[in-house]
């Protein structure tokens, strides 16, 4: 995981989340209530997300009410308006990710003024290469300073 930003504080706590989009389809519709299948696998998963807000592709918002016994993972949901059987219902959730701990604070800003003056961050390294050029008139040897 890479990130860009501004350092505000030297702290090792991180909270990284991944967007999870669960998709289901309605199988019965009564006015503003619909029964949704295909989003969850068990009634226990439905119970965990009870009260969560859902939305259709057309933008109609709704809420998960209770699981349905006929379909494993099916549930009853209420919406703001009547939805169609062709609508796709999705639940947007955020899944926390466990990131391996790697913490290296920048402590060079905490040095005294004498240490700051002596500190060298990045130095150039010089490599000396000898170049031998063979021409029709003879051999010419040149030394090149190449910086890496």
Cα–Cα distance, 37 to 70 (Å, whole number)? 10
Which residues make Cβ contacts (< 8 Å) with residue 5, sequence separation at least 6?
A: none
Asked if residue 87 lies in contact with residue 32, where contact means CB atoms within 8 angstroms, the answer is no
Per-residue pLDDT reduced to its tens digit, 100-130: 766 666 655 667 777 777 766 665 555 555 6
Q: Which of 81, 93, 83 is nearest to 36 (CA)?
A: 83
Cα–Cα distance, 142 to 118 (Å, whole number)? 36
Per-residue pLDDT reduced to its tens digit, 37-72: 999 998 898 998 899 999 999 999 999 999 998 888
Mean pLDDT check: name the lowest of 14-18, 63-67, 95-99, 127-131. Answer: 127-131
Q: Which of 69, 80, 14 is nearest to 47 (CA)?
A: 69
The listed CATH number (3.90.1150.10, 3.90.79.10, 3.40.190.10, 2.40.10.190) that belongs to domain 16-97? 2.40.10.190
């Amino acid at each position: 995981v890479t990130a860009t930003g501004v350092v505000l504080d030297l702290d090792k706590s991180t909270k990284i989340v991944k967007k999870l989009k669960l998709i289901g389809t309605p199988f019965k519709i009564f006015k503003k209530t619909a029964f949704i299948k295909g989003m969850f696998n068990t009634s226990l998963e439905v119970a965990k997300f009870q009260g969560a807000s859902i939305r259709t592709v057309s933008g109609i918002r709704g809420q998960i009410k209770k699981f349905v016994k006929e379909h494993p993972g099916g549930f009853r949901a209420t919406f703001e308006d009547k939805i169609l059987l062709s609508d796709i219902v999705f639940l947007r959730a955020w899944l926390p990710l466990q990131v391996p701990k790697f913490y290296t604070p920048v402590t060079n800003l905490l040095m005294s003024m004498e240490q700051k003056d002596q500190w060298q961050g990045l130095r150039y390294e010089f490599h000396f290469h000898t170049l031998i050029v063979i021409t029709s008139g003879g051999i010419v040897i040149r030394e090149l300073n190449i910086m890496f």
